A and B are shown apart, each in its own frame.
Chain A
Amino acid sequence: MKNHNPADEEILIGKPPFFKRWAGMYWLVLGNLAFLIILFYIITKLYE
């Protein structure tokens, strides 16, 4: 298998919606996870 340059791959695949790069989409998903974990922790502590 050939190694591909991530920048070339971005051009080949195309831009995601809302963000200039795919990394923005990935951070959105991971940020959402972090937000949910913090929210769930607050809920747990608030109602225990």
Chain B
Amino acid sequence: MRPLDWVVLLGTLGFIVTYGVWKTRGSKDIEGYLKGDNSMKWWTIGLSIMATQASAITFLSTPGQAYEDGMRFVQFYFGLPIAMVIISITVIPIFYRLKVYTAYEFLENRFDLKTRSLAAFLFLVQRGLAAGITIYAPAIILSTMLGWSLTITNLLIGVLVIIYTMSGGTKAVSVTQKQQMAVMMGGMIIAGFMVVSYLPDNVGFGDAVAVAGKMGKMNVVDFSWDWETSWDDRYNFWSGITGGLFLALSYFGTDQSQVARYLGGKSIAESRLGLLFNGLLKIPMQFLILFIGVMVFVFYQFNQPPVFFNEAAKSKVYATAYADELRGLETKYSSIFEQKQEAVQGLVTALKTEDEAAINAAATQVSSYTEAGKEVRDQVKGVIQKAVPGSETRDTDYVFISFVMKYLPVGLVGLLLAVIFSAAMSSTASELNALASTTVIDIYKRSVKQDGSPVHYLKASKLFTVAWGGIAIIFATYASLLDNLIQAVNIIGSIFYGTILGIFLVAFYFKRIKGNAVFFAAILAEAVVLYCYYFTDIAFLWFNVIGCAAVVLFGFILEGLIGKKKKELVA
């Protein structure tokens, strides 16, 4: 990092934090603090919703995923626009009519206190863990790449977020997310232009896309379905449109970190438009980020990529007895790349001639070199495992940041780092804000102290924002001590989301089912999801569908049994 990069990075982050604090100073009560005085316009809500969902991992991992696996991840978002329409029609008017602060407040109105508390508790556990990971996941990558201390990186992200979230509440979160989205999208578009401009002179944009296609990276949509294998295929059209729909319904309809974004709207119309704005733009945004990853892949067909993108992990191996083995593999990798260069140029030439036989022959040759390179990369991962037991051998998260640090000019490196920090901060801010709202409204105000003044609850909200921020930083700092933590948190999320959605679905659409039935149905549904997790190979996206369907089914059965018992008692 050179001085100009520091100026751009710190200037961008400093401006956003200062602007957020200044613009939202002086919240006098809990209404203003947790609902932003219901003053937000649709574009603020829409950008805020998008910024909340786009965490730093979106910008670090997604291009790397496209580099490795192509464009097909975009199918994961196909259910999202449908969910936006459903929530706009059904959920928003009800939340507005009841004037709720949190989604879980509605559950007491519809069922009873225990169901509200159960849903709030599940949210606090799941989101409390996720807030730590939202800080930790980018911090571990950034600290590795920049050579910073992990604790300092965690503190930098966490403390900046706490300052403006504590100061201005929901309004500060939404106002800063507008700036953060501008930085994120601006930075990514510039990075996309830069990577295309770095391609050789004889390779135009069309040639680059054609090369990517011949190497299997333009696999955007897959309609095929195999009853035996497609269930555990995470990204195809069918899992995206059904599992993705249920996941988006759960996330945007029942997760307070998103619900708070549209509850702060000036009117139902503004909130609806904000959600529909997200429904229109989310897929193109993900497509763009994935496409940048594919262009980085094409760039590395003409420029030698590192044999392993996490340079820090490689450096650790150089300090062990395995250094020579690693150097040998690197030499072998370079030699394969040199031979592959000719084949790739042959493919570009063949594509220009439009001779199908020549294109297929060249593509086959390139594929064989790619496979040979992949074998060497696997061997390198094996050496890293032997030399530094327990180290992470998945390096896709480092692909994009490694490209940024190595190839982008001075100033742009700072901007792209600002993109990643902004993304981490925008998601964390929404999470802390939602955790504080749920703790104060659903637990503290409802069950601990019911007779406090508005100022008292305002102070409590600020205190809980700082407390949850502190917990998230501590969790992020010690996260590396736990194995497979990120995976564990993702699993926890997918295990609970379906059940929470099921409770809300029953609340909205199945009025016959009452509090006791839905409460025990939720517990039984959780058992079914846990069974699927432990004893089947079903991909986690389907847990959202299964959990939700199980709550509805058990709800009907239990309501029938409870109703029958009541009739018997009356008789």
Given A37-B78, A47-B212, also A14-B267 (CB < 8 A): yes
Q: Which residues of A contact B71 (CB under 8 A)?
A: 40
A-B contacts counted at CB < 8 A amount to: 79
Q: Which of A1-48 contact B (CB under 8 A)?
A: 1, 4, 9, 12-17, 22, 25-26, 28-30, 32-33, 36-37, 40-41, 43-44, 46-48
In the docked arrangement, what's the CA distance between A37 and B381, Å? 37
- Are B93's CB and A29's CB within 8 A? no
Which residues on the B side are within 8 Å of A17 (C-beta)? 273
In the bound complex, do residue A1 and residue B284 qualify as a contact, i.e. CB atoms below 8 Å apart? no
- B74, A16: Cβ atoms closer than 8 Å: no
Q: Which residues of B sit under 8 angstroms from A32, Cβ to Cβ?
A: 81, 279-280
Residues of A within 8 A of B110 (CB): 1
- Chain B interface, >50% SS class: helix
Q: Known interface pairs A13-B93, A25-B276, A26-B89. Does A36 touch B219 (Cβ–Cβ under 8 Å)?
A: no
A12 to B237, CA, bound (A): 38
Task: Kindly state whether residue B221 has any CB partner on chain A within 8 Å.
Answer: yes
| Residues in chain A near residue B82, CB distance under 8 A | 30, 33
* Complex interface: chain B residues within 8 A of A40 (CB): 71, 74, 220-221, 287
Are B85's CB and A13's CB within 8 A?
A: no
CB distance from B128 to the nearest CB of A (A): 31
Name the A residues within 8 Å of B269 (CB-CB): 13-16
B443 at the interface (CB under 8 A from A): no
Q: Once bound together, how far apart are the Cα atoms of A30 and B89, in whole Å?
A: 14
For B209, the chain A residues whose CB sits under 8 A away are: 47
Task: For A33, give the chain B residue with the smallest CB separation.
Answer: B81
Interface string of B284-308 (1 = CB under 8 A from A): 1001000000000000000000000
Docked Cα-Cα span, A14 to B270, in Å, equals: 10
For B221, give its contact among A9, A16, A44 (CB under 8 Å).
A44
Q: How far is the CB of B415 from chain A (nearest CB, A)?
A: 28
- Cβ of B422 to closest chain A Cβ, rounded Å: 26
Does B94 make an interface contact (CB < 8 A)?
Answer: yes
Contacting pair A37 B276 (CB below 8 A) = no
Chain A residues, Cβ within 8 Å of B214: 47
Q: Is the beta-carbon distance between A41 and B280 smaller than 8 angstroms?
A: no
User: What is the distance, in angstroms, from A44's C-beta to the closest C-beta of chain B?
Assistant: 5
Q: Which residue of A lies closest to B222 (CB)?
A: A44
Contact of A22 among B94, B212, B272, B283 (CB under 8 A): B272
Q: Check A29 against B267 for contact (C-beta < 8 Å).
A: no
Which residues of B, 415-474, contact A by the 8 Å Cβ criterion?
none
B268 at the interface (CB under 8 A from A): yes
Least CB distance from B246 to A in Å reads 16
Give 1 or 0 for each of B93-119: 1 = CB within 8 Å of chain A CB. Answer: 110000000000000001000000000
Judge whether B563 is part of the interface by a CB distance below 8 angstroms.
no
A26 touching B212 by the CB < 8 A rule?
no
- Chain B contacts of A15 at CB under 8 A? 269
Whether A9 and B93, one on each chain, are in contact in the complex, defined by CB atoms closer than 8 angstroms, is yes
B560: interface (CB < 8 Å)? no
Known A13-B93, A17-B273; contact A36-B284, beta-carbon cutoff 8 A: yes
Interface check B213, CB cutoff 8 A = yes
The answer to whether B84 touches A29 (Cβ under 8 A) is yes
Give Cα A14–Cα B42 distance, bound, in whole angstroms. Answer: 14
Q: Does B126 contact A (CB under 8 A)?
A: no
**Which residues of B sit under 8 angstroms from A37, Cβ to Cβ?**
78, 221, 237
Shortest CB distance B563–A (Å): 20
A37 CB to closest chain B CB (Å) equals 6
Which residue of chain B has its CB nearest to the CB of A40? B220
Contact present for A44 and B218 (CB under 8 Å): yes
Is A29 in contact with B219, judged by CB distance below 8 angstroms? no
Closest residue on chain A to residue B212 by CB atoms: A47
| Contact of A48 (CB < 8 Å), options: B89, B213, B267, B272 | B213
**CB-CB under 8 A for A1 and B74, given A33-B283, A44-B220:** no
CB-based contact A29/B272 at 8 Å: no
* Cα distance A48–B214 in the bound complex, in angstroms: 6
A4 touches B280 (CB 8 A): no
B141 contacts across to A, CB distance below 8 A: none
Query: Are A46 and B213 CB-contacts (below 8 A) given A13-B267, A40-B220?
Result: yes
Report the minimum CB–CB distance from B201 to chain A (whole Å): 22
B88 and A13 contacting across the interface, CB-CB below 8 Å: no
Question: Are B88 and A28 within 8 A (Cβ)?
Answer: no
9 A-B residue pairings within 8 Å (CB atoms): A13-B267, A13-B268, A16-B272, A25-B272, A40-B74, A44-B218, A47-B210, A47-B218, A48-B218
Please list the 7 inter-chain residue pairs (A to B) with the smallest Cβ-Cβ separation, ordered nearest first. Answer: A47-B213, A47-B218, A40-B220, A29-B279, A33-B81, A40-B221, A13-B268
A33-B82, A36-B287 are known; give 12 further A-B pairs, CB within 8 A: A1-B94, A13-B93, A22-B272, A25-B88, A28-B280, A30-B82, A37-B78, A40-B220, A40-B221, A41-B223, A43-B218, A47-B209
